[in-house]
Amino acid sequence: MSLFDVVVVGGGPAGASAARFASEFGLDTLLVEKRQEIGTPVRCAEGVGKSVEEFIDVDEKFLSKEVVGARIHSPDGTYFDMNDDDAGDEVGYILERKIFDRELVKQAGESGAEIKLRTRATDLSREDGRVKVSLQRNGGVETVESKVVVGADGVESRVGRLAGIPTNLKLDDIQSCAQYLMTGLDDVDLDYTHFFVGNDVAPGGYAWIFPKGDNKANVGLGVSPVMADKKASQHLTDFVDNHPQLNGGKVIEEVYGGVPVTAPLPELTADNIMLIGDAARQVNPVTGGGILNGMRAGKIAAETAKKAIDDGDLTKKGLQPYEEKRQKIAKENKKYYKIKEIFQELDDEQFNSLVNSLEGVNVDELSVTGLVTKIAVKNPWIKDKIKDILAL
């Protein structure tokens, strides 16, 4: 039976990051991915902030488009702009995720990680301070042992369930998403990512246009299944049909899925086990983006695994450094979860009022306090809710 220091389950950005750094730290690492091809299917808008450069040099082969900022559109058509530095972890670059994800896994392999595709982790059992991992591959089952298992296996994480880590989601903490890749978008300003709010467009969520160059863009939306009166796919059809700059475009690809938009989980570890990325619900609850959070968590998990193995303590207590260091991500997402809850209470008139209060304002010159003050002066009804957010 093969023995590894670390087995990482899931070959997305979070898992690839964990495998790469674990290998760089000298740990014998195995990365398993259930699909036969890394990076497919693509189930996100492919936007990421420029701080991705912490992890990988940006290369034209996986970069579709660089944008200057985000444009936020209200239901009445008013909008305001934010530059890429202020717009968060999803604005700056638009990726080709199929290629980007493969490059991250390539990094892991070049760092020394063993990689197995078409390999599904089906069971975990602890014995003598280690974990036996059952791997289903090519019609057979192989068992390996590992000192640490990192679950990066997505929103439906099997690792989390098998480890007994509570990851259940309420229905209103899931976004149902639909997206088209469209071409022929001659009339859209493709220097910005575009976000559209409003209860007719995307109840409980938002719609987006993420440019990919050559007059192409990812056009999609996420809706709350609790608030929406029709499927996300129908909301997207209606959004495209009713948007004058989109209804002349052509759909060349369709993608559907779900995204966890929940508050941070109270714990992400068990003896020998850590969860990262979507499996750990580390997605920004407002934007639904999680590439960078997942990669950051992957590095933290690798650092923690190295320390725990060196110290000879693979218990939940020995993995406590991961719980402590991931609190920076959790603190931000707790704030964004509050913002999500506020947004889901707003009607279209209130959305219009918020966006109108920032029309023509140079957002880049305002501090967070200045921005909040500007909004609150013109929208006194939101003052108490904003105080709760600033207190976090």
Q: Is 368 assigned to a binding site? A: yes
Computed over its alpha carbons, how large is the radius of gyration of the chain? 21
Peptide bond into 285 cis (omega under 30): no
Nearest-5° Cα angle at 32, 28 to 37:
135
Distance between CA atoms of 234 and 284, rounded to whole angstroms? 25
- Give me the mean pLDDT over the 233-246 stretch: 96
Instruction: Output the pTM of the full model.
Output: 0.92
- Residue 276 in this model has a pLDDT that exceeds 90: yes
Mean pLDDT of the chain: 91
Q: Is 108 assigned to a binding site? A: no
- pLDDT for 292-343, tens place per residue? 999 999 999 999 999 999 999 999 999 999 999 999 999 989 988 988 998 8
Q: Is 121 assigned to a binding site? A: yes
Q: Is 209 assigned to a binding site? A: no
Nearest-5° Cα angle at 49, 44 to 52:
95
What's the pLDDT band for 390 if we cut at 50, 70, 90?
A: low
**DSSP class of 381:** G
Q: Say how many CA atoms lie within 13 Å of 348 toward its Cβ.
A: 13
- Residue 247 in this model has a pLDDT that exceeds 70: yes
Q: Which helix (H) or strand (E) holds 292?
A: helix 291-311
Q: Is 164 assigned to a binding site? A: no
Q: Is 43 assigned to a binding site? A: no
Q: Is 163 assigned to a binding site? A: no
Q: Is 59 assigned to a binding site? A: no
- Between 32 and 51, residue with greater pLDDT: 32
- pLDDT for 167-199, tens place per residue? 989 998 999 999 999 999 988 999 999 999 999
> For residue 200, with 0-12 CB atoms within 10 Å meaning exposed, 13-18 middle and 19 or more buried, which class applies?
exposed
373 three-state secondary structure: helix
Token output for 214? 């050559």
Q: Is 97 assigned to a binding site? A: yes
